[in-house]
């Protein structure tokens, strides 16, 4: 069985459609983030790792009544409690959150008060499945860690690109990665999902993975440049993409299938993580073809107009 | 060629066996349950899969510094009195800076004498400076000394918490310094779901000290202040007393701030009974050095009172009937539980400083079990889908890829078993991601082989070319992802570390299976082909 054999699509010809598509999603993401920022002071919903506070996951014997639970919380003096349904309704699970405590010596009090409130004012047997209490000190530390991880990842990528490619390829690849990250994070803002530490880990993994994808296309472009220097660049780039299409779509597709399995079957705890991977792999594949390659060509044409050299650096040795 | 092939197949089978051993060890039997038991013994589950408690505690090291300077205050007072040098007071001038001590009220006559006396005794640990026009002297604890004290405090806290936690009967508890923050401790207790029990065990390691009683009991704090001309001297403190466990009416004592002995001075403590009164007592033994100090104090203060203070509250007031060396009794209307608890607290040594809880994550066992089930389901579905696809798309060679994938998983899990790495829920996700990314390598190779066949090459040449061209790109893609994973390992939290570990192991294993193993399977297949026949791909 073979798909994509003899593919001959004019990718670069469609670049305006791609640009429009990317713009729509980027802008939608940015608008979502702006709205979220104006409401809550952060561009995306933050998980408890970053916003701090108390979060208790409770499973009830009977289907939970959110209003009744809120009344119970108020009756116990727990103001500002956020109560939402969690996971599938059949599980009868509810997530109860309290905002951040600044007094760290009383950190665990919130959890106890929630349990007491439920025992006292809400008649529905329950058991506590998960508790997370994050104080401001640790919250800041985790933020710092996430920041460091992101920073070092980016530095690592840049160093790697610097070794493998000339500047223009590197810039195009970085722009593609940035585009991917923006749309993925925007997707979180759009769907109201929380960003936790594991989500950041997923996004960083994605960046590495998307970089790979872009490199595959670039490798083929450079190989073809070595062989035929007379061909107009857009034609050559199209051909390179078509040649690698089979490989690109298949590898991304297979990874996507496994990640989709994780999203569907993997449970609620990993939802954010798998969502980031699902969106990221799709967008990452798309961006190698629709963002990185056209950017390469556009940059080259811009340089040609300015009168400087019109050839792209070619590969020194052959790749697949 | 054939011999070479046989030995390579042997290597692969050996690898398979070695890593299967890594997963299961030597199981006691081959039934499903036996294998499961063997598996759970080898593969170490994280808290998010086992259920358990994860705590980050902050050691309030300033208290330990404060204790040390309190003692220094008392000693300076003693030294100056003995040397007959007059002063108005020795105290800590700034409550927010526990490392500072001030000696006030020096006259021009004795300033130098005082300075040289204190220099000779304290210059190792403190920086001395004149102040207030030479009528006062400030001592500031040296930063290096302070730092050493803080580290020692944290270390002691870890040991104490370890003892307490062990008494809970947790398997594989973990108490360690937490590298991300200053003076923080990480506590991980798998399998515990009752957070309150843990909290009590740890928090009741409240600081325990014996202080000299200066005055009291007073009805309340106002009464205590009134009896002391409206203010408590800086080297004394107020403490409340409400009976051993809060059963009596509240009263207030004035105590000397510097304790006679404190937690780490107790070598052992046992519940017992007073021979004469039949009351329950706690018999304790102090360390030698503390015993000397205690003897010195009690011989000079017979008839006076001392208070056992725990967590800032007075638990018991006892009179000093005779000099006590290093064994003594604490007597009071204790219940059996109280003597047992008090003995245990004294025995395991109280904490050198208070603890603040900074972070607490408790995963219930039911959630852990659900997570395992969901993760494994997702993994199995992922594996089946990928394997099916490879069979349909690449036909005969799909079998090749599937065998390599299977071996990949065996090696990955075997690695986990051998290295005792912890499997977390994101770790399971890492396994799933490895499956997807791993089979990519096969796709790379197979696509190239197809291209070569299309270009007219014979079967074995096509296979050769496929592997030759693909190798560099496979390494490329694996290395970039492994580097990402390495950064995540360095900067990630526990669960994220688990993800980084499985991803790295999986991709490393993939380098072996996708290239070496697939190649061998191809060669074995090629050997069986008749002349002119093509590989099924």
B399 located within any domain? yes
Please report, for the domain that includes residue B472, its CATH number: 1.20.1640.10
A314 has a chain B CB within 8 A of its CB: no
Enumerate residues 6+ apart whose C-beta is below 8 A from A53. Answer: A97, A98, A99, A100, A101, A110, A133, A134
Whether the predicted pLDDT of A181 surpasses 80: yes
B267 located within any domain? no
Per-window interface: A 189-248 vs B, CB < 8 A: 197-198, 201, 204-205, 207-209, 211-212, 215-216, 219, 246-247
Whether the predicted pLDDT of A113 surpasses 80: yes
Distance CA B23, CA B159 (A): 33
Better-predicted residue by pLDDT, A13 or B204:
A13
A12-41+139-306: which CATH number, 3.30.70.260, 1.20.1640.10, 2.30.30.90, 1.10.287.610? Answer: 1.20.1640.10
B239 located within any domain? no
Confidence at residue B239, expressed as pLDDT on a 0 to 100 scale: 84
Confidence at residue A320, expressed as pLDDT on a 0 to 100 scale: 44
Confidence at residue B215, expressed as pLDDT on a 0 to 100 scale: 83
Lowest mean pLDDT among A216-230, A252-266, B265-279: B265-279
Q: B93 is written with which tokens? A: 């001038």
Per-window interface: A 103-122 vs B, CB < 8 A: 104-105, 107-108, 111-112
Angle at B140 between CA B136 and CA B141, to 5 degrees: 150
Number of domains in chain B: 1
Identify the band that residue A319 occupies on the pLDDT scale cut at 50, 70 and 90: very low
Note the pLDDT tens digit of each residue in B310-334: 767 787 787 777 788 777 777 666 6
Confidence at residue A313, expressed as pLDDT on a 0 to 100 scale: 66
Whether the predicted pLDDT of B85 surpasses 80: yes
Does ipTM surpass 0.90 in this model? no
B168 located within any domain? no
Chain B residue with minimum CA distance to A101: B358
Whether the predicted pLDDT of A26 surpasses 80: yes
Q: B209 is written with which tokens? A: 């000290």
Choose among B400, B430, B347, B429: nearest CA to B518.
B400
Q: Which of B363, B432, B476 has the CB atom closest to A258's CB atom?
A: B432
Confidence at residue A318, expressed as pLDDT on a 0 to 100 scale: 40
Identify the band that residue B115 occupies on the pLDDT scale cut at 50, 70 and 90: confident
Where in the sequence of chain A do the CATH 1.20.1640.10 domains occur?
A: 12-41+139-306
B385 located within any domain? yes
Distance CA B65, CA B150 (A): 7
CA distance A309 to chain B (A): 29
CA distance B169 to chain A (A): 22
Kindly report whether the global pTM for this prediction surpasses the value 0.80: no
Inspect the interface and report whether the beta carbons of B58 and A57 lie closer than 8 Å.
Answer: no
Angle at B508 between CA B504 and CA B509, to 5 degrees: 115
DSSP track, B244-275: TTS-SPPEEEEEESS-SEEGGGEEEEEEEE-T
CATH T-level topology, domain A53-134: Alpha-Beta Plaits (3.30.70)
Which residues in B lie closer than 8 A to residue A57 (C-beta atoms)? 367
% chain B with pLDDT above 70: 93
Whether the predicted pLDDT of A184 surpasses 90: yes
Where in the sequence of chain A do the CATH 3.30.70.3400 domains occur?
A: 53-134
Cβ distance A190 to A182 under 8 Å?
no
Whether the predicted pLDDT of B291 surpasses 90: no
B23 located within any domain? yes
Its domain, for residue B34, covers: 2-50+365-528
Whether the predicted pLDDT of B170 surpasses 80: no
CA distance A1 to chain B (A): 5
Confidence at residue B109, expressed as pLDDT on a 0 to 100 scale: 82
Distance CA B219, CA B205 (A): 28
Inspect the interface and report whether the beta carbons of B477 and A246 lie closer than 8 Å.
Answer: no
Burial class (CB in 10 A: 0-12, 13-18, 19+), B114: buried
CA distance A308 to chain B (A): 32
Choose among B114, B96, B117: nearest CA to B106.
B114
Cβ distance A128 to A110 under 8 Å?
no
Q: How far is CA B29 from CA B20, B24, B178, in A?
A: 15, 11, 41
Note the pLDDT tens digit of each residue in A256-304: 999 999 999 988 889 999 999 999 999 999 998 888 888 888 887 887 7
Distance CA A221, CA A293 (A): 9
B171 located within any domain? no
Backbone phi, psi, residue B270, to 5° = -135, 145
Lowest mean pLDDT among A175-184, A253-262, A283-292, B290-299: B290-299
Identify the top-confidence range among A143-152, A168-177, B436-445, B499-508. B499-508
B391 located within any domain? yes
Distance CA A173, CA A288 (A): 8
Enumerate residues 6+ apart whose C-beta is below 8 A from B523. Answer: B5, B8, B463
Inspect the interface and report whether the beta carbons of A57 and B367 lie closer than 8 Å.
Answer: yes
Q: How far is CA A149 from CA A48, A137, A194, B324, B505, in A?
A: 18, 19, 19, 58, 20
Whether the predicted pLDDT of B48 surpasses 70: yes
Cβ distance A174 to A18 under 8 Å?
no
Lowest mean pLDDT among B19-33, B257-271, B402-416: B257-271
% chain A with pLDDT above 70: 92
Confidence at residue B205, expressed as pLDDT on a 0 to 100 scale: 53
Whether the predicted pLDDT of A7 surpasses 80: no
A161 has a chain B CB within 8 A of its CB: no
Choose among A256, A232, A255, A241: nearest CA to A288.
A241
CA distance A291 to chain B (A): 20
Q: How far is CA B289 from CA B97, B124, B267, B318, in A?
A: 29, 21, 11, 22
Distance CA B298, CA A125 (A): 57
Confidence at residue B347, expressed as pLDDT on a 0 to 100 scale: 65
């Amino acid at each position: 069985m073979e798909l994509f054999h003899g593919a001959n699509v004019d990718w670069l010809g469609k670049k305006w459609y791609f640009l429009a598509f990317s713009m729509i999603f980027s802008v939608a993401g940015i608008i979502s983030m702006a709205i979220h920022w104006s409401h809550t002071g952060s561009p995306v919903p933050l998980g408890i790792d970053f916003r701090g506070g108390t979060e208790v996951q409770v499973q009830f014997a009977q289907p939970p009544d959110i209003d009744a639970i809120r009344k119970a919380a108020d009756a116990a003096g727990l103001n500002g409690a956020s109560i939402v349904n969690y996971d599938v309704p059949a599980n009868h699970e509810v997530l109860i959150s309290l905002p951040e405590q600044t007094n760290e010596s009383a950190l665990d009090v919130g959890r106890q008060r929630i349990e007491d409130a439920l025992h006292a004012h809400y008649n529905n047997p329950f058991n506590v499945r998960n508790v997370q209490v994050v104080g401001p000190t640790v919250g800041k530390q985790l933020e710092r860690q996430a920041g460091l991880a992101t920073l070092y990842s980016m530095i690592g990528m840049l160093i790697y690109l610097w070794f493998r490619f000339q500047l223009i390829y590197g810039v195009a690849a970085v722009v593609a990665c940035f585009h991917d990250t923006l749309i993925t994070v925007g997707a979180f803002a759009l769907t109201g999902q929380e960003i936790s530490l594991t989500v950041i880990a997923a996004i960083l993994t994605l960046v590495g993975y998307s970089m790979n994808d872009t490199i595959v296309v670039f490798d083929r472009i450079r190989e073809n440049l070595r062989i035929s220097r007379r061909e107009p660049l857009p034609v050559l780039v199209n051909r390179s993409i078509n040649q690698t299409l089979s490989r690109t779509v298949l590898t991304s597709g297979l990874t996507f299938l496994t990640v989709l399995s994780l999203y569907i079957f993997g449970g609620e705890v990993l939802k954010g993580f798998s969502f980031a991977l699902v969106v990221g792999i799709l967008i990452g594949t798309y961006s190698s073809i629709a963002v990185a390659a056209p950017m390469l060509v556009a940059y080259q044409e811009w340089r040609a107009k300015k009168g400087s050299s019109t050839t792209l650096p070619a590969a020194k040795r052959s790749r697949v | 060629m054939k011999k070479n092939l046989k030995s390579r197949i042997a290597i692969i089978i050996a690898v398979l066996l070695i890593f299967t051993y890594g997963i299961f060890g030597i199981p006691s039997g081959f039934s499903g349950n036996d294998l499961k038991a063997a598996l759970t013994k080898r593969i170490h589950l994280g808290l998010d899969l086992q259920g358990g408690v994860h705590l980050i505690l902050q050691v309030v090291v300033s208290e330990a510094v404060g204790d040390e300077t309190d003692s220094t205050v008392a000693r300076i007072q003693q030294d100056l009195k003995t040397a007959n040098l007059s002063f108005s007071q020795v105290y800590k001038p700034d409550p927010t800076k526990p490392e500072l001590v001030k000696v006030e009220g020096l006259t021009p006559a004795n300033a130098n004498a005082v300075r040289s006396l204190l220099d000779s005794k304290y210059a190792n640990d403190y920086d001395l400076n004149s102040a207030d026009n030479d009528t006062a002297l400030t001592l500031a604890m040296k930063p290096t000394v302070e730092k050493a004290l803080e580290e020692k405090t944290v270390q002691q806290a870890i040991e104490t918490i370890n003892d307490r936690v062990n008494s809970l009967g947790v398997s594989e508890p973990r108490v360690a310094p937490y590298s991300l923050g200053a003076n923080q401790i990480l506590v991980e207790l798998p399998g515990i779901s009752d957070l309150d029990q843990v909290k009590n065990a740890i928090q009741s390691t409240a600081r325990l000290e014996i202080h000299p009683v200066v005055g009291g009991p007073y009805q309340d704090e106002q009464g205590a202040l009134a009896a002391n001309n409206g203010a408590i001297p800086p080297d004394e403190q107020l403490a409340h007393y409400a009976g051993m466990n809060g059963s009596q009416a509240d009263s207030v004592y004035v105590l000397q701030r510097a304790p006679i002995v404190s937690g780490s001075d107790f070598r052992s403590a046992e519940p017992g009974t007073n021979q004469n009164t039949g009351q329950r007592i706690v018999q304790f033994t102090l360390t030698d050095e503390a015993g000397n100090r205690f003897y010195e104090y009690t011989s000079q203060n017979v008839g006076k009172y001392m208070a056992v203070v725990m967590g800032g509250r007075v638990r018991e007031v006892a009179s000093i009937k005779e000099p006590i060396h290093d064994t003594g009794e604490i007597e009071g209307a204790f219940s059996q539980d109280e003597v047992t608890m008090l003995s245990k607290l004294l025995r395991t040594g109280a904490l050198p400083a208070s603890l603040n809880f900074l972070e607490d994550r408790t995963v219930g066992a039911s959630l852990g079990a659900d997570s395992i089930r969901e993760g494994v389901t997702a993994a199995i579905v992922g594996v089946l889908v990928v394997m099916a696809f490879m069979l349909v798309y690449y036909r005969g060679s799909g079998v090749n890829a599937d065998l390599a994938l299977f071996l990949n998983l065996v090696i990955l899990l075997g690695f986990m078993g051998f290295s005792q790495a912890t499997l977390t829920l994101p770790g399971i996700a890492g396994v799933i991601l490895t499956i997807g990314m791993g089979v990519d390598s096969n796709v790379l190779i197979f696509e190239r082989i197809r291209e070569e066949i299309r270009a007219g090459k014979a079967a074995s040449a096509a296979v050769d070319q496929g592997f030759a061209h693909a190798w560099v790109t496979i390494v490329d893609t694996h290395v970039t992802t492994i580097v990402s994973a390495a950064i995540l390992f360095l900067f990630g939290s526990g669960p994220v570390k688990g993800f980084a570990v499985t991803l790295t192991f999986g991709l490393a294993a993939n380098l072996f299976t996708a290239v070496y193993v697939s190649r061998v399977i191809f060669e074995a297949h090629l050997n069986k082909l008749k002349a002119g026949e093509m590989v099924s791909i």
